[in-house]
Amino acid sequence: MLSFATPTWQTAILAQNTTKGPLGSGKARMANLIVPRVYLSDYFTATDERELGRLGITHIVTVLDRQPAIPDCIPQEHRLLVSLADRSDADIISHLDQTTEFITAALAENEENNVLVHCFQGISRSATVVAAYLVSTSTMTASESIAYLQAKRSCRVSKHGLP
């Protein structure tokens, strides 16, 4: 008997999405301003040129296991790809210094810069990256940053990824 790998649910959704815009509606399908100039969102927002322009996004942090189709309005040097699968045992900790440095540098470079951090749904991997950024750049503890993020957006933050 032959056995074929079943595509991930993310791949299946992407294959069925023939439009450029987001699927469905609701809080998880839009960008949320977490702190001034830092947004948290999903794959569909990150690949929507019109929405990126509306938000004034200049830099993107992608936390996915593949390169997304980011529009050309975001230059290559303003993109950071953290190649990370959506699995509970994925090592996000080793990437948090890099993502925090990228976000911090983007914001320091120009007062007009805005950063979008996203994963596929914008609720776990990318939320962990933003929580780590908050811990690193504010007086928030890990628990406070998680509670703060959850008040701003429906998300799940990996507590194993935060100090």
Task: Report the catalytic residues.
Answer: 119
Please check whether residue 42 is in contact with residue 29, taking contact to mean a CB–CB distance below 8 angstroms.
yes
39 strand-pairing partners: 33, 116
For residue 59 the two structure tokens come to: 């830099």
What residues contact 40, with CB distance under 8 A and at least 6 apart?
A: 31, 32, 34, 116, 117, 118, 122, 126, 127, 130, 149, 152, 153, 155
